[in-house]
Structures are given as structure tokens and as C-alpha cells.
Amino acid sequence: MKKSCLHSLLLALTLILGYGYAQDTPKDYSEAFTLIEVWLDAQKDYDNLPGISAAVIEDQELMWSGAFGNANKEQNLAMTTETLCSICSISKLFTSVAIMKLYDEGKLRLDDPIQDLLPFYDLTQQFGDSGPITVRTLLTHSSGLPREANYPYWTGPDFPFPTREQINTALKEQETLYPASTYYQYSNLALTLLGEIVEEVSGMTYEAYVQQYILSPLALADTRSEMPKTLYGKQLAIGYNALNRRGERPPVQFFQANGITPAAGFTSNVVDLGKFASWQFRLRDTTVTEILAPATLRLMHQVHFTDPGWKTTRGLGFGVYKGPNGTTWVGHGGSCPGYRSTLQLDLKNKRAYSVMINAGGTNPNRYSNGIYGILNKVKKGKNETENIQLQDYVGHYDARPWGSEEYIGVWEGQLVMLSLPARDPAEGMTLYKHIDGDTFKRLRDDGELGESVVFQRDAQGNVISYSQHDNFTRRISK
């Protein structure tokens, strides 16, 4: 009896310890990143993108990065993870950090009215009962200011961005759109004026201040407050238009944001934006000031304004929202002529996603969300316990006329099928369990087995097709 009890106790301890070990074993994401690369490469072609680059950051580590297509189509220059793109409105994050550094130093307050900081400010307030336009309302896009300065700088082909002096002189010709602190109205003018506040309060040029106190300390050597013309078409990707009806994307004319720089003028790459994300994860978890006090960055990541429609919530410079996993995410997107970009941070899980595309008319969040979705499907990683060469079946298969193509890959000891193109790749993944020989069965969401997939081989033993429901799909590449 004692032996039986002892045996049961040892078995229980073994199970508990074994379970704990399994829980502590890090997940293997290598198969997920292979699938991400297959998906992005296909989407680049099906979405007719010149080039796309992306990176995934986990806390202080670059977890993965990849690039597909061309930075310069005319010269067949490949896009790389170091390729620079305009990050347009992501520039606002650097301006916001600059403002909050001055706040940390006691040189301004969040509720300082704009006219107390900018003596030249003379934009007409058309609402007599409006509250003050403050630093806080500028940062949260709740100031009531119009979206743009009084110039047509988003108009092609020349994109005539005004100088600082032109913007400031023309303020008197503009008026508020709403009373302050009433509605969300995204405003490039608001962030441009915050750049003016940085200059006025610091006594330095905006560009010099950001370089000295943000970019250099974070070693963001590939992030600039301009479009470096000498690198255009080389390290700096050429920007291309949205698609026309002929499926073409003509190049967009080179531009500089000039006076709109604090809102839209920066260039960077996905690796540097990853470093910027790592700094935020690092600072949130410490008590040591690094550019900002940790509490100040956490303050920026909190909701400071909610639009009455409850669909838009803003922090100080950052968009703050509930991510796909239900946790708090922060970030910003960018859209300039010929370029789209995004930076998204999952604060709880310390994981960030950056994507850059050198073309208009695209949605970079679609690709960052797709990357997140695939990674979120990983349960354990590779499983090599089964004695079968799953790589024999890996490749692209012709799905026409019903679809374009199917990709079959390896996923945690099973085969995975992904239809390409895929708007939601995680949703489009189907797993197949090995049964015998070249026969697999679909693994249902409830764990039950579904229909069979049988692979065919040629005389040399190479897989050449698969059959499903008695119909054949031909392999087109490995």
C-alpha cells in the first residue's frame, strides 16, 4: 500500500515537473516565419506592390525581419530591411517625444495654451465658448484645428510643401474647425505647431533638437528628419503611386516636407523603428530615465482623449487601442505620396510590428495584422517526432481556375495548406495530419479528422500533385 502511494506521488510530481518544463520551453517560431515569408512574397505580387519590408520585435530583440520586391523597379534594386522609406506621420511620434522631454524638464506643461508658447500664433478661434488649445489637445488631435496648413501640399505632381515661415504667416487666414476638446480631428497642422513649440522652448532648431536628444542617444542612424535626396533610388526607396485601372504604379515625384517636417517629414527603415519600439519596452519597465522618465512614457501610452463616437482613443502622440488579442496596443501609421508605413506595439506582450511599403493606396496594417495572426497560431513550434519527410510535400500548387495557388508547408509536425493570396492568412491556414504513406487527413478545429488529401509521385519519387475529393491539383514549384 505504501509503495502504491509513493508511486502515485512520484508520478504526480513527474507530471507536474514535466508540465512546468513544457510551459517554460520557449516556442519555436521558425516555421511561422517561413509561412510569413511565403505569404508576404505572394502578397507583394498579387497586390502589385513594388516592395515591402517588415520586422517583428520582441522586447529588446529583433525577432525577425524580411523584405520583398524592389526599392527601385526601374533599376531592379531589391528592397531590404535596411531600405529607407518615408515614414510620414510616424514622424509625429518623434515630435511628441521631443515635447514630452521638454515637459520632463519643466519647460512646458501639458495644459499650457498655445498662444503662451508661440507668440506669433494668430489663427482665428471662431467659437467663443471654446476651451483653450493646449499642448495636450495638440498631442491628442482634439485641438479643433483644421487638418492642414493653408497650402495644397498633398497635391501632385509637385507636392508644394510650404516653409515654416509660410505656414506661420498664413495662420491668420485660417480658423478653428471645432471648439477645443470636443471632437477628434486628425491634424498635421497641430503637430507642425508642436514642432514650432520645440524650437521656441528649446532655443534649438527642431531638427537639431530631435537629432541630439532622441535619434543619437537611441543610435537610430538610419532615421532622419528629411528625405535624403542623395540616397533617393538607392538606399532610399522610390515611392510609387496607387494603382491605376491598367494595374500600373507610376513613380511619385520626389518631395521634401519642409515646414511640415514635425508631422510628416522623417525617413527610416523597419529595423530602426524596431529599435525605437525596444526603447519603449525597456523604458516602461525601469525606474531610470532614458531620454524620458519612465512615468512620462507610460503617460503618453494612456488614453487622454476619446472621441464622442467611442471609436477613436488617443494618447499623447500615440494612437491607443485594443489590439487583436484584447490587450492595449499603441502606435502610429504613416501615409505620404508613394509610401505607407505602420508601427504597432503590443505593450503587455512586449512585441512590436513595423511594415513599410513604397507605394500608395495600400494598407500596411493588413500585413502587420497578418504577421501577428500567423505568429499567434504557434502553440509549441517544430515537432519532429514523426518518422516522415514532410518536406517532400512542401511547395506551391496550382489552384486555378477556382483560386490562384495553394502553398503547402510544415507546421508543428503536420502539413499546413494556405491559399494565396490571403487577406487573413491565419484564418486561411488548414492543417493536415499524416495517416499513412502519402495520405493525410484534414484536422478540424475540434480535433476530429476530415477529408483525405493524397499526394502523387513521379517515377523518381518526387511529389507532383495531390488529390482531394477525387480532383487533382498540380505542383508548380518547391
Closest listed residue to residue 31, CA positions, set 420, 431, 398, 309: 431
Whether the model clears a pTM of 0.75, i.e. scores above it, the answer is yes
Which of 344, 376, 408 terminates a domain? The answer is 376
6 occurs within a structural domain = no
> What CATH number does the domain containing 409 carry?
2.40.128.600
Same domain, 397 and 268: no
Residue 25 burial (CB count, 10 A):
10
Kindly give the residue spans of alpha helices, DSSP state H, lying in 223-323. 261-264, 270-284, 294-300
Residues 402 and 370 in one domain: no
- What is the C-alpha to C-alpha distance for residues 102 and 223, in angstroms, rounded to an integer? 21
Q: What is the CATH number of the domain that holds 339?
A: 3.40.710.10
Q: Are residues 352 and 413 in the same domain?
A: no
Per-residue pLDDT of the chain (478 residues; tens, 9 = 90+): 444 444 444 444 444 444 444 455 789 999 999 999 999 999 999 999 999 999 999 999 999 999 999 999 999 999 999 999 999 999 999 999 999 999 999 999 999 999 999 999 999 999 999 999 999 999 999 999 999 999 999 999 999 999 999 999 999 999 999 999 999 999 999 999 999 999 999 999 999 999 999 999 999 999 999 999 999 999 999 999 999 999 999 999 999 999 999 999 999 999 999 999 999 999 999 999 999 999 999 999 999 999 999 999 999 999 999 999 999 999 999 999 999 999 999 999 999 999 999 999 999 999 999 999 999 999 976 765 456 899 999 999 999 999 999 999 999 999 999 999 999 999 999 999 999 999 999 999 999 999 999 999 999 999 999 999 999 999 998 8
Q: How many domains does the chain have?
A: 2
Do residues 370 and 379 lie in contact, with contact meaning Cβ atoms separated by under 8 Å? no
Distance CA 317, CA 195 (A): 12
Do 358 and 327 share a structural domain? yes
Q: Positive or negative, the Cα torsion across 88, 90, 93, 94?
A: negative
| Residue positions counted in the chain | 478
State which residues form the domain around 286.
47-376
Same domain for 441 and 308: no
Among 348, 376, 404, the domain boundary falls at 376
12 found inside a domain = no
In a domain, 96, yes or no: yes
**Whole-angstrom Cα distance, residue 134 to residue 145?**
11
Supply the DSSP symbol for 287: S
